[in-house]
Amino acid sequence: MLLFLRSLVFHCLFYSCTVLLMLVWLPTLVTGPRGIVQELGRQWGRTTLWLLENICGLKHEIRGLENIPKGAVIVAAKHQSTWDTFTLPIFFPDFSFILKHELVYLPLFGWYLLRAEQIAIDRAKGRKAMPQLIAKAKALFAQGRQLFIFPEGTRRPAGAPPAYKFGVALIYQETGAQVVPVVLNAGLFWPRHALLIRPGVAVMEFLPPIAPGLDARAFFAELQERLEAGTEKLLQEAAAKDSAIAAIIEKNRLAPAPAPAPQRAEG
């Protein structure tokens, strides 16, 4: 019951703070440069991490910050939780997510996404959207910006069989950008589509970059190997501290893979 109440209080404050921040920062939509609007994203992340720790008992640990290069880079992260989306921007000065275009139609939130120059794609166009996406990525890297990609395209349960999309390899090959793999375990504590948030320590780790120049398929295999090995290490580390976590991981390993979608281009 206590876990439910703490989680409920957090969600109420989380959404209230999200709306309040967007209202307070409204003038930046008209007068602020892209960087100011992005700072709202970082402030949103820091505020939410504070709420999680002080209400739900969910602390966080960030590892491998020394592996983040300056300037243009692809940041390819595992995606397990809402936690991933607001934590990543805190550590990058000029970021852009690849996101589904439906999000830009959300009142306020979508306006901020557009003003911060995030990359929205129409998943229904599948591979036909890839040339436009690569062109946008090249323009972004020419400005020294960072591109966030979730290579599985959507949130997956922590420990579930992977379901990577080849789009990230095409962007890597066509742009010549280096790639920083990012592993995490946040889905053990704040799963997708879940109200309850467990106490513990959510870990995000930035792995050493993958240099440009690999064949697309060789890169794709290397990225998957690093992401899966790094994630498994974090999952086992958490399971060793809590037997309930171990049970969650074993349950998630039985999760079905998403329906095949070879023509989708979200990376």
What is the per-residue pLDDT for 121? Answer: 82
The whole-model pTM stands at 0.91
What is the percentage of the chain residues whose pLDDT exceeds 90? 76
What is the per-residue pLDDT for 126? Answer: 66
What is the per-residue pLDDT for 41? Answer: 93
How many angstroms separate the CA atoms of 203 and 195, rounded?
20
Nearest of 173, 164, 136, 188 to residue 267 by alpha carbon:
164
Longest dimension (CA), the chain: 53
Q: 216-241 and 243-252 are packed helices; what angle lies between their axes, rounded to 10 degrees?
A: 140
- Number of Cβ within a 10 Å radius of residue 101: 16
What's 26's DSSP letter?
A: T
pLDDT tens by residue, the chain, 267 residues: 899 999 999 999 999 999 999 999 998 888 878 889 899 999 999 999 999 999 999 999 999 999 999 999 999 999 999 999 999 999 999 999 988 888 888 988 998 998 888 988 876 666 777 888 999 999 999 999 999 999 998 899 999 999 999 999 999 999 999 999 999 999 999 999 899 999 999 999 999 999 999 999 999 999 999 999 999 999 999 999 998 999 999 999 988 877 654 443 333
How many angstroms separate the CA atoms of 81 and 45, rounded?
13
Sign of CA dihedral 211, 70, 112, 191: positive
What is the per-residue pLDDT for 11? Answer: 97
154-185 residues labelled b (16+ CB within 10 A) or e (exposed): ebbbbbbeebbbbbbbbbbbbbebbbbbbbbb
What is the per-residue pLDDT for 29? Answer: 85
Is the distance from CB of 76 to CB of 162 less than 8 angstroms? no
